[in-house]
């Protein structure tokens, strides 16, 4: 397939069978290569890879806390600069959706504003999975989680997902993109571009979660594929303020093709499916409407 053979994360980690997050990190690291330092937020990836005295990481890696990877990376960025070795190193900050959309959002925004040089990867599995599938700002509309249960009165999460990549883009960063393990050539190309940025670059990674989304472990890639095919997770990039789709399905599939694969949506009524369909369509159309325009460039530079 022409992918690098070298692995930077080792077997024997304790992630669930079929984990979409570890698979994402595996490929991000392959694209980034040997000279990479990772700052990892508290979360599944951190826990399953570092049961002391063992580590799955083959590159320098640090975990501090949940909400501070962008700040820790800021310190590393400046420290490496002082040592005159900044240009030799790819610095990655990897945090889940809780770390990125919610608790660490301020730290991320601050680091972007200050113009640090590192690549932030939000590995989004759409809930607090490590603590047992609680709702986050990234949980999609009507999803069933342990803190937004599909009850008789309220059917799951009643708020839509926070549009983090667009919020990040509004800071005027030079590179923002969405990536998916269902499209590795697209993922590799985007990681490479992100690493070239001279300021914070941001990758929003779609990471299906077997226990959290309630689907058979073999379906991880299939679900990621359907997310893009239905417009739930479009693949695009915003480079120097200009948004471009990197993959555009000829015709979007009905969103139910994606929803019906997952237990977290099995409680949905026809009307709720329609609401999700409308929501996805509106968001998708918005992205189409700004494609190739200089909206992020002119507004925020």
Partner 1 sequence: MKRVIETSHAIALAVKLARVKVIPMYPITPQTHIVERLAEFINNGTLDAKMIHVESEHSAISALQGALLSNVRAFTATSSQGLALMFEILQIISGMRLPAVMVIANRALSAPINIWNDHSDAFAVRDQGWMQIFAETAEEALDSVLMAYKLAESKEVQIPIMVNIDGYSLSHVYEPVDIPSQTLVDSFLPKFKLEDYLDINNPKTFGPIGFPDSYMYFKEAQHKAMKNAEKRIKEINREFKKKFKRSYGNGLVEEYKIEDAETVFVCLGSICGTAREAVDQLRVKGKKAGLLKLRYIRPWPSKSIRKALNKAEKIAVFDRAFSFGSEAPLYTELKATLQDKQINSYVVGLGGRDVTIEHFKKAYRMCSKNKNGWLY
Partner 2 sequence: MNKKMKITKGAVIKEPGSTVKYKTGSWRTFRPVIDYEKCIRCGLCWSQCPDMAIEKKGNKFVINYDYCKGCGICAENCPVKAIKMVREEK
User: Which residues bind to partner 1, rule: CB under 8 A?
Assistant: 34-37, 39, 46-47, 50-53, 55, 57-65, 67-68, 70-83, 88-89, 106-107, 109-111, 113-114
Minimum CB distance to partner 2 smaller for 57 or for 142: 57
- Closer residue to partner 1, CB minimum distance, 45 or 238: 45
Tokens in use for 81? 């600069």
Buried b (16+ CB within 10 A) or exposed e, 221-232: bebbbbbbbbbb
**Choosing among partner 1, partner 2, none, which partner's interface includes residue 1 (Cβ < 5 to 8 Å by kind)?**
partner 2
29 binds partner 2 (CB under 8 A): no
Could you give the CA distance from residue 68 to residue 42 in angstroms, rounded to a whole number? Answer: 9
Q: Which does 153 bind (CB under 5 to 8 A by kind): partner 1, partner 2, none?
A: none
Q: Choose, by CB under 8 A, the member of 35, 54, 146, 257 that binds partner 2.
A: 54
Strand partners, 242: 239
**CB 222, min distance to partner 2, A:** 7
291 binds, among partner 1, partner 2, none (CB under 5 to 8 A by kind): none
User: Which among partner 2, partner 1, none contacts residue 78 (Cβ within 5 to 8 A by kind)?
Assistant: partner 1
| 54 secondary structure, DSSP code | -
Please report which helix (H) or strand (E) contains residue 166, including its range: helix 164-169
Near partner 2 by CB under 8 A: residue from 56, 70, 91, 227: 56
User: Which residue lies nearer to partner 1 by CB, 109 or 246?
Assistant: 109
Does 64 participate in binding partner 2 (rule CB under 8 A)?
no
Assess 19 for contact with partner 2 (CB under 8 A): yes
Site string for partner 2, 210-239 (x = CB under 8 A): x-----xxxxxxx-----------------
State yes or no: residue 140 binds partner 2 (CB under 8 A): no
47 interface partner picked from partner 1, partner 2, none, CB below 5 to 8 A per type: partner 1
CA distance 142 to 149: 9
Out of 33, 47, 50, 193, the only residue in the binding site for partner 2 (CB under 8 A) is 50
Structure tokens at 96: 């889940």
Is 85 among the residues that bind partner 2 (CB under 8 A)? no
Which residue, 58 or 86, is less far from partner 2 as judged by CB? Answer: 58
Distance CA 170, CA 186 (A): 23
Calculate ∠ Cα 242-280-178, nearest 5°. 40
**Cβ 134 vs Cβ 147: under 8 Å:** yes
Q: How far apart are CA 147 and CA 131, in angstroms?
A: 11
Cα 206 to Cα 74: distance, rounded to the nearest angstrom: 25
Distance set, CA 266 to CA 60, 140, 145, 273 (Å): 42, 14, 12, 10
Q: What are the φ and ψ backbone dihedral angles of 217, each rounded to 5 degrees?
A: -60, -20
Q: In the bound complex, what is the minimum distance in angstroms from residue 112's beta carbon to partner 1?
A: 10
Q: How would you class 83 by CB atoms within 10 Å of its CB: exposed for 0-12, middle for 13-18, buried for 19 or more?
A: exposed
Contacting positions for partner 2 (CB under 8 A): 1, 3, 5, 7, 9-20, 22-23, 26-27, 49-59, 181, 184, 210, 216-222
């Amino acid at each position: 397939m022409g992918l690098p053979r070298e692995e930077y994360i080792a077997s024997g980690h304790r992630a669930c069978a079929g984990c979409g997050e570890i698979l994402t990190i595996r490929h991000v690291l392959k694209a980034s290569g040997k000279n990479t330092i990772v700052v990892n937020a508290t979360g599944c990836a951190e826990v399953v890879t570092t049961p002391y005295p063992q580590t799955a990481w083959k590159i320098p890696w640090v975990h501090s806390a949940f909400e501070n990877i962008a700040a820790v990376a800021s310190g590393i960025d400046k420290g490496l600069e002082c040592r005159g070795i900044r240009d030799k190193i790819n610095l990655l900050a990897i945090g889940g959706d809780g770390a990125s959309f919610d608790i660490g959002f301020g730290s991320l925004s601050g680091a972007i504003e200050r113009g640090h040089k590192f690549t932030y990867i939000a590995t989004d599995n759409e809930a607090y999975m490590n603590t047992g599938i609680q709702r986050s700002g990234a949980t999609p509309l009507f999803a069933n989680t342990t803190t937004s249960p599909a009850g008789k009165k309220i059917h799951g999460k009643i708020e839509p997902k926070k549009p983090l990549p667009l919020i990040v883009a509004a800071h005027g960063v030079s590179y923002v993109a969405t990536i998916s393990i269902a499209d590795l050539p697209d993922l590799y190309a985007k990681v490479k571009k992100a690493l070239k940025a001279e300021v914070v670059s941001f990758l929003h990674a779609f990471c299906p979660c077997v226990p959290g989304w309630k689907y058979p472990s073999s379906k991880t890639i299939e679900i990621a594929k359907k997310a893009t095919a239905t417009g739930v997770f479009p693949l695009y990039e915003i480079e120097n303020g200009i948004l471009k789709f990197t993959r555009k399905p000829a015709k979007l599939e009905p969103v139910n093709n994606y929803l019906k694969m997952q237990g977290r949506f099995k409680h949905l009524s026809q009307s709720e499916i329609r609401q999700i369909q409308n929501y996805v369509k509106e968001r998708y159309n918005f992205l189409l409407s700004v494609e190739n325009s200089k909206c992020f460039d002119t507004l925020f530079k």
